[in-house]
Each structure stands twice: as C-alpha cells, then as structure tokens.
Homo-oligomer: A and B are copies of this chain.
C-alpha cells in the first residue's frame, strides 16, 4: 500500500505557513490574495524575491493544466518541441530586441565569453531554427511548434507571487505560414484553441485587442481575467462590446464605434497572441520554398499562455480571503475523504471493515479519478476541524464519514463546494453523483 500512502494527508508534504498579522517585515512582500493563500496552504513557497518552490499540491495542479494545454495544442496539430533556455545573444541583437528589452533580460556569459540570454520568449530561437534547416516546402506549412518550459525575466519589482516572478512557466507556440492570409487563418485557429482552453478552465475571461509592445507585428489579442490586482486596464464598449487594452484604445471612447459609454476593468493578462508577419523571420532569414521552388520569407505568429500565472490568477478570482477555491479541472485533488475521529462511535462501527480503503478505491476506479482522491487520515483531529480545513483547501468534493454511516442503509455525506450543497447518499448514488458532476470536465468533452 505504498502508493496509497502518497494520498494520505498525514504523509503529504504540505508545510503550512501562517504569517502572524504583526509580522510586518514578511507581510510586505505578500501583495495578493492568491499569493497569501498559496503560501499559507503549502502550495508554493518563496525561495527568494520572485522565485518560488512548487510544493506537491502546486505541482499536481500545474501538471493538470499542462495536460489540458497539451490536449488542446494537439487538437490543432501543434507539435511539441523544447528550445534551450540559453539563447545566443547575437540572435537578439539581429532583431534589435537586445537593446529594447535589455533591462528585463537576464544575460549570462559562458567561460568562453559567449553571451546568452535566459530566454523570456523564443521568437528568435524559433526563427533561427527554421533558418538553419534546408528550407521546408510550402506543402508542409502551416507549421505549429510549441513548448512548455520555464521562462526568465529580471523583474524590477517581483510581486503578486506567481503572477510577476523572475521564473515562470509558459506555453509558447510559434506558427509559420506561406503568406499573411494563411497566417491570419492559423492565427484565428489558435485563438479558438485558446478560447477552448479558457472555457474548459471555466472562469470568465475577456479577449481584447492587445498592445504589441516589444513584440511588434500586425495584430495582437490578449486574454484577461478580471481582478483587482490586475496590472492592465481593459476597456469594454457598452454598445458594440468591443474590448481593448487601454494602452491601445485610450480610456475615453470605443475606437470601434466611437461610443463614449465604456466600462474600464483591471485585468490579469494570462494569454497573448501575436500575428508577427516577417518581424523576426526576415532579419533571421527564416525561409521556405514557395510553389515555384524559390525561397520566400516565412510569416510568423507567436502565442503565449502563462501557465503558472493562470494558476495564481484563477485562485485570485475564485477564492475568498479565507478559503482557496480551484477550478474543478485544476484542483490538485478532486475528492477528499474524511474518516471518523479515532475513538468515536462511528470509528468503532467501521473498525477493521476496510470501509475507508474500499471507498477510496471505488471512487478512484469508477469515477476515473486515479491519483485524484485524498484521505485525511489525521483521525486524532475531529471531523469538524478536518472539514473546515478541507473547505479552506478547496477540494471540490468532501466525502464525510459522519453520523449516518452507523445507520442502515449506510449514507455518506458529500459536500460540493461549487454548489454549496450537502447530500446524504448511498455508495452507488455517491458514485453516480460524482461521475455526473465530473463528466463535464473530462478531456474530450469540449471538442466543438
């Protein structure tokens, strides 16, 4: 039963870290609710300003998000690769970005005095990869390459925990097309894929006309979660529903219909798509062979999703000050089981029956929740205390072995944190209930 032990709360490495209210020195670093909750609940831990350890619950959630993104990238023909973190600084010199973004770049030299960048993004690397090949034929385009790796940025002032750190996990995709028209088609297809990802996460998001900033290019869109700690200002027109970053639109009126009745929200940018055209491919000479057999410059797109930032942002949006809430599809565990307090009547009743283990196995198996069920086996604590902790930790479904497990027929108490309902169900009904509640989040449910 070694594997099972991993899923017993008493064995889980979840060092809670309650910062006393009067500990001014440490608290001033904590600049968002998600950061505080993730620290207090042992999901992340700060190593140094802007650098975080992901603890087991954080890794589990991040891996779920990674799988979700992999699935959606594959649906649109995305091919997964890995670019090295160290990019030759000369490539950034050629595109002019070494100068324009240099204050945020971590630069490093190897012992042979060669300069590298700890890449915050890989447009140069992707262009150079394509340029270094024998030019591929127009028949093999569009090409959509993506990776999920750590990125680096020398932030002046790291803040909001995972939302603005020195190291963060990104999904970045690079598309290559023959001309701007097909590149725009690819761009739209990838935007639709982003829509699906955000729909599956299940939190309201806004897609707005974006500010290309240091990236440049023809066209850009940003994906935002609305939140008070957001660092971007988003305009939405009350009349035509057009949305844009106010860096593009200004704050006065809708640039689409001219209407002056607009809403301004703060937003956390969680995704950004760019139709880049030749901005990187031309200086780096990334070409393909056109239908006349002649080399032609590739038309590029670039598409980023901030995976570690999404994690923090959804917690920021969904949680209360006291209790964390996860989107069901990203919750580290879907179900937690609370066995009775040791020495209680209920515990005596089920003692040696193997009830807890068999319930655990049944949920895992019949609800397709392998690795997703946790037992709070700290039975020296009361059920009540463990229930409050389970709620604070935001496990979507809490199954309590309460007073009704001594009754005949035996009933389990299940609390659904999303709907806030508590039901008393037989084992079969419990399985059916969980299955129906979970099914809308399964991997292929959203194939539209």
> Which A83-99 residues have C-beta < 8 A from chain B?
83-88
Cβ B47 vs Cβ A83 within 8 A: yes
Query: With A106-B108, A106-B110, A150-B150 in contact, do A53 and B79 touch (Cβ < 8 Å)?
Result: no
Q: When chains A and B are docked, how far (Å) is the Cα of A344 from the Cα of B385?
A: 73
1/0 per residue, CB under 8 A from B, across A104-125: the answer is: 0011101100101010000001
Cβ contacts A130-145/B at 8 Å (1 or 0 each): 0011101000100101
Q: Which among A54-62, A199-207, A283-291 touches the partner chain?
A: A54-62
Question: Would B48 and A88 count as touching, CB distance under 8 A?
Answer: yes
A51/B86 in contact, CB under 8 A: yes
* Given contacts A51-B86, A143-B13, A75 and B2 within 8 Å (CB-CB): yes
CB distance from A29 to the nearest CB of B (A): 14
A13 in contact with B85 given A111-B156, A129-B45 (CB within 8 Å): no
Contact (Cβ within 8 A) B145 A84: no
Main SS of the interface on chain A? mixed
Chain A interface residue number, banded = 35 or more
State in angstroms the CA–CA spacing of A149 and B54 once bound together. Answer: 12
- Give 5 closest A-B pairs by Cβ, nearest first: A51-B84, A54-B82, A15-B133, A56-B79, A59-B80
Binding site for B on A (CB under 8 A): 2-3, 5-6, 10-13, 15, 17, 45, 47-48, 51-56, 58-60, 62, 74-77, 79-88, 103, 106-108, 110-111, 114, 116, 118, 125, 128-129, 132-134, 136, 140, 143, 145, 149-150, 152, 154, 156, 166-167
